[in-house]
Amino acid sequence: MGAAVEPARFGADGGDGTLSITTNRECSWSASSTDSWVQLGAQSSGQGNATVTFRVSTNGDPSQRRGAITIGEQQVPISQDAAACVFTVPSRDTVSSDGERRSLNVTANGPGCSWTARSETEWLTIVQGGQGSGNGQVVYEAPPTKGPPRSGELTIAGQRVVVVQGGGCSMTIAPTSQTMSADGGTGAISLTTDAGCPWSAQSEAAWISITSAPSGTGAATVAFRVGASDGPARTGALRIGEQVFTLRQNSGCRFSINPDSSSVLHTGGSGTVAVTTVAGCEWTATSSASWITITNAGSRNGNGTVQFAVAATTGPARSGTLTVAGRTFTVSQSSGCTFGISPASQNVPYFGGSGSVAVATGAGCPWTAASSIPWVRITAGQSGTGPGPVAFTVDETPSSLPRSGSVNIAGQTFTIGQDGAPCAFVLSPPAAAVAAIGGSGTFEVNTKEACTWNATSNDPWLRVTAGASGAGDATVTFGADVNLGPARTGTIVVGGRPFTVSQAAVGTITGR
């Protein structure tokens, strides 16, 4: 059996080839590849003479490789050229004006790929990685600079790398800002920089003009002028090189209001204030009192009107202000104090006592409390402001008749009623004894003059014979019937008090 490939050598890009097999017609064969980068076509086995196709894939490695196709005991060699070395390096790098040491990565597509690095510019120096193979790193150094921005070149692995270094001209200005009155004026800015460093000055506001040294080199003084303003506060700038000088000018706005005060009833109300100024002048309106509300929102620029509302009050007369465009507008409101008391009346027992009355009114409303009757005294709250309590005491009444009086509290009438003292009855003597043969007697009823009473016997043998009813002190006369039985006791009740009569049994001697 014989075998041969065409071609036997491939370039790095790979390609298609054929394997020619020569053998007897009855001889069977089988072909296989020893490497993954050689792939046989659809027919890899057969009998007799044949042609087998195959494909060689691209070689990305910068190294030659060798493989083979096996036919039975025979190996047919195939070789492929190495890929070209490919390097990747940054095309640009930046260093500061202070100088620094920087590193750049070199990426190769194979470890055998050799490369070199060199500086193409006097002020750039390769300090490490002047040559290498495969992946690596190049370290270079740039010294500090005092001049303007500059650029240089490095050649690394055959590729151009541009290195840009920032300018070394440092500039400072003093002062960096200034505030001027609305009248305007002149000023100067000191510029400090290295000799030979160029600069220019520009105004960024039409109302600021440069009056000397608009450009130059090295240290200098830049003079400027600010125009007068009758408008709002404004801010502008001068730019000197990379430095910014900020100029603030105070407002030149003038404001007037009409009217400057208003009087409002306690029921509340509303009003307006007109503001006069020039266009562009901004202003605000604020209330210093919670009961005065500004009702119209919106832009406060140029001429305008402020609308306000005043809340109703239940308190004393008051005054508050609005600040409108920096001016003071005064609002005066009449008193709205009203008073109520709770309770409006109270009843106390005959033995007297104490109580309290709550005064309801607005905060800050003044009031007094006074008694016009001698048996009622104000003990606390003779005067007050706003809601508060009034305490009082009532003396014990000497009479059984009810009485009433009034106290003036915060202009309101508080009525006090007192019950009459209860009727107490004393019977003197409280008891008596009569003989079995019967008899009569008397006892005194002692009580207050207005106290009425009835004398009632609880027993039929005991009778009230005189003074069966009355009012105040009196005498009750009673009679007892003959007792034919055992000793007995009876009662006469007057005002709930019992008068006890004891009667001896028949034959009992009750006295000498």
Domain count, the chain: 6
Three-state DSSP class for 337?
coil
The predicted structure's pLDDT at residue 195: 77
pTM, two decimals, is 0.40
Query: Does the residue 186 lie in any domain?
Result: yes
Please tell me whether residues 380 and 408 are part of one structural domain: yes
Query: Does the residue 512 lie in any domain?
Result: no
Query: Which domain, by its residues, includes 145?
Result: 87-165
Q: Considering 249, 283, 316, which residue would you say is the last residue of a domain?
A: 249
C-alpha pair distances (Å), 19 with each of 10, 15, 32, 36: 14, 14, 11, 17
Query: Does the residue 476 lie in any domain?
Result: yes
Query: Does the residue 234 lie in any domain?
Result: yes
Please tell me whether residues 487 and 440 are part of one structural domain: yes
The predicted structure's pLDDT at residue 194: 79
Nearest to 242 by CA among 209, 188, 201: 201
Query: Does the residue 43 lie in any domain?
Result: yes
Please tell me whether residues 191 and 221 are part of one structural domain: yes
Per-residue pLDDT tens over the stretch 96-129: 988 999 999 999 988 889 999 999 999 999 999 9
The predicted structure's pLDDT at residue 63: 86
Q: Considering 301, 333, 365, which residue would you say is the last residue of a domain?
A: 333
Query: Does the residue 511 lie in any domain?
Result: no
92: CATH? 2.60.40.10
Give the separation between CA 512 and CA 498, rounded to whole angstroms: 28
DSSP bridge partners of 203:
238
C-alpha pair distances (Å), 116 with each of 111, 120, 164, 394: 14, 13, 21, 119
Residues ≥6 apart with Cβ < 8 Å to 73: none
Please give the biggest Cα pair distance in the chain: 188
The predicted structure's pLDDT at residue 429: 97
Give the separation between CA 501 and CA 492, rounded to whole angstroms: 8
Give the separation between CA 270 and CA 309, rounded to whole angstroms: 4
Please tell me whether residues 153 and 132 are part of one structural domain: yes
Please tell me whether residues 191 and 160 are part of one structural domain: no
Q: Which pairing describes strands 243-249 and 256-258: parallel, antiparallel, or unpaired? A: unpaired
The predicted structure's pLDDT at residue 512: 37
Nearest to 103 by CA among 151, 141, 135, 138: 138
Which residue numbers in the chain have pLDDT < 70? 297-299, 508-512
For residue 62, cis peptide bond before it (omega within 30 degrees of 0): no
Question: Strand 74-80's sheet: what is its strand order?
Answer: 9-10, 74-80, 65-71, 28-33, 45-47
The predicted structure's pLDDT at residue 298: 61
Q: Considering 362, 383, 418, which residue would you say is the last residue of a domain?
A: 418
